[in-house]
Structure formats: C-alpha cells, structure tokens
Homo-oligomer: A and B are copies of this chain.
Amino acid sequence: MAVKRTTLKDIASQVGLSPGTISRALADHPDISDETKSRVREAAQAMSYIPNYRARYLRAKHSRLIALIVPEMNMFFVPSMIAGINHVVQQNDYSLIVFQSDNSIVQERRLAEYATHLSADGVLLVLSSETSDLQHLDVLHDFGIPVVLLDRTIETTKYTTITIDDEQAGREAARYLMDRGHTRIVGVFGDQRQRISSMRLEGFRRAHAERGLPLADSQILRVTMIDDLAKQFDDAFAAHPDLTAFFTMTDDLLVHTHYLLARRGTRIPEEVSLMAISDGEAPSFLHPNVTHLRHSGVEVGERTAHLLIGMIEHNSDAMMDVRIRTTLVELGSVAVRAKPPKKRVKS
C-alpha cells in the first residue's frame, strides 16, 4: 500500500544524472543549466518527490524545530500564547513541538534533555511551579541552544525572559480601584511559590502602603488549588463588612471569583466591584464585562517567538529581560464609591 518515497537518487537514475546534480538543480544552483533544471523539476514533480528533512538537517547544523515546554494546558492564556507562538514559528518555517511538564521539575529536566536529543534550535519554557533554580537547563545552555523563559519565570542572569511587569500590574490595579474610592479591596492571588504571584501581590501591597491604607492579611486570598478559594472567600466577607472590591490576578481566579459572587447573590458592581489581570477573553463573557489590565497571550507568544528566532538566526547569546506592558480596559465591573470618610461631609 505505502508507496516508497522517492529520493534524489531515484530522480538521478531517472534523468541520467548524479544525485548531487539533482540536489543542485532543485536548489536552483547557478552551476546547473536551465535546461537541466527544468528536466529535473519535471521529473521530481512526476515522481512526486518529497525531500527528507531529517536527512537534510542531519548535515546542516540546525533542525528548524522549536520546543515549547509548558507546565500544563490551562484553558486561559496558554492557548492564546501557543497560538501566537505558532503563528510566528510557522511563518518563519520552523515547527513547534509542544511538551507538558505537568508542573514537575523532573519532567521539565527530562524534556529539556529530550529537546537536545531532537536537536531543537531553540527552547521556549514556561517554568513549572516546582522549579526554583535553573540548573536543570544547563544541558541547553552548554550546547548553546537559545532559551527564552516566558510568563512564569524566576530570577536569572543566564536566560532571556519575557514577562509583564507583575509588580507594576498589581500596583496599578489596586490604584485604579483606590482612585475610585475603594478602600477595602480583597486580592485573589495564586500559588505563592511562583514569582508571578508574589510580585503581583507585592505591587498590590505597595499600592496600599503608598496610600496609607491598611491591608489585613485576611484581605489576601492565596489560592493554590482552586477549591481553596471558596472558604477564604466567605471568610473575607465575614471579616470585612466594608469590603467593596475584588482584584484577581488571573483569568482562572477571575471566573471562579465571579462565580462565587454570583452564587452569593452579590451584585456587580453595585455591591462589589471586580477587577482583574486578564487576556481579555473571560471579561467579555462574564456579566457585567470585567474591567481589567490586559495581558495578551497572543502578543506574548508572538514577541517571544520573534525574540527566540532572532537569537537562533543571529547566533546571539545576549541575555535580556523583556517586559510587556499591560493596557487598561475599562468595562462595567467597577463602580465609583464615595471617598472614604476622611473628614468628609456626608452629602
């Protein structure tokens, strides 16, 4: 059934030339006469020749393969990030190999090695939550394979990273709410082992400090498993009758917080305002639409891929840290409150 693939040699014997000549003819090499070229092209067409990239790239130093390692397939952010990466990668005639580390550092190391087995030209890596140092990436570094760390990273001077300014984003969100009169804001944050979580929380904290607003620990919800949220949520309501706003640091946390508010019968934004850092999808199908700091997965993906391909093709080992700006998208989930009772006359 399966037709054997035609090779250069097959074409060569067909048209009575040598394989080398066929290769050059197909590559439009100047050494080959136009007449021969067209004869070869016809034959190749007729025999439905398909080049064997495996053999080609065995000789060449590169493979035109880019490996992406993600901790898991979240329904938020990751898909759009992959879409963005894939777009650029395909446009540049690379292929994307996707791996999941399942948030395990052992897997992550294994996959990094695997990437070198395949001689990937570059590696894109979203760190697992277990990862606290980068030694297991030495294989890549030693072989000079460019690596870009994105989204979830840790501090490093060895690898290029692409992130948003997490601290700034956390701060900006809090300030946005404060500017609209909210003084008791509950922040919903993820796994604190991740830099992305700790930094956003840090910014959230700083905004409070700058405004001289108190920030009780019970105002900070630290969610590792999503089921942790419900209980902390109720506690926060109990502890803070003056609670008027929620901030969630990811889409995941946003939709669940939104759900809990709905279940509680709390009206948004009349009773409680809601704000998030988001890639913009969820805010558009939640009611009311959610004001957020937009952090586009597609953009992150595209820029990352561009950067990596640049590193590959210019053989650059310059290290850099790219910060992507978030943009504020104002929708209907935040209400303006009267300013806090600081010697204000009730009107």
Q: CB within 8 Å of B: which residues of A?
A: 1-3, 5, 48, 50-55, 57-58, 63, 72-76, 78-80, 82-83, 86-87, 90, 95-100, 113-114, 116-119, 139, 142-145, 255-256, 258-259, 262-263, 281, 284-288, 317
Contact = CB atoms under 8 A, between A and B. Distances in A.
A80 B75 CA distance: 7
A58 B119 CA distance: 14
Contact of A73 (B1, B50, B83, B285): B83
Nearest to A286: B259
A97 B85 CA distance: 13
A329 to B, nearest CB: 16
Nearest to A117: B53
A5 B50 contact: no
4 closest A-B pairs by CB? A2-B144, A262-B287, A73-B83, A255-B285
Contact of A95 (B52, B114, B143): B114
Contact of A86 (B100, B263, B286): B100
A1 B54 CA distance: 26
B74 A144 contact: no
Contact of A55 (B5, B58, B79, B256): B58
Contacts of A75: 75-76, 79-80, 281
A2 B117 contact: no
A187 to B, nearest CB: 19
A50 B113 contact: yes
B50 A54 contact: no
A327 B44 CA distance: 51
Nearest to A65: B97
Given A50-B116, A256-B285, A285-B259, A74 B79 contact: yes
Contacts of A74: 79
B143 A54 contact: no
Contact of A98 (B5, B54, B82): B82
Nearest to A118: B53
A57 to B, nearest CB: 6
A54 B48 contact: no
B98 A48 contact: no
A72 B78 contact: no
A52 B83 contact: no
Contacts of A255: 285
Contact of A97 (B55, B96, B143, B144): B96
Nearest to A113: B50
Given A50-B113, A116-B50, A259-B286, A87 B100 contact: yes
Given A54-B57, A90-B99, 15 more contacts: A1-B144, A2-B144, A48-B142, A54-B63, A54-B118, A54-B119, A73-B82, A75-B79, A79-B79, A83-B100, A90-B100, A95-B114, A98-B98, A255-B285, A263-B287
A73 B63 contact: no
Contacts of A97: 95-98
Nearest to A301: B73
A139 B2 CA distance: 11
A59 to B, nearest CB: 10
A87 B98 CA distance: 11
15 contacts: A1-B317, A2-B143, A2-B144, A48-B142, A50-B139, A53-B117, A54-B57, A54-B58, A58-B58, A73-B79, A97-B98, A258-B287, A259-B284, A259-B286, A263-B288
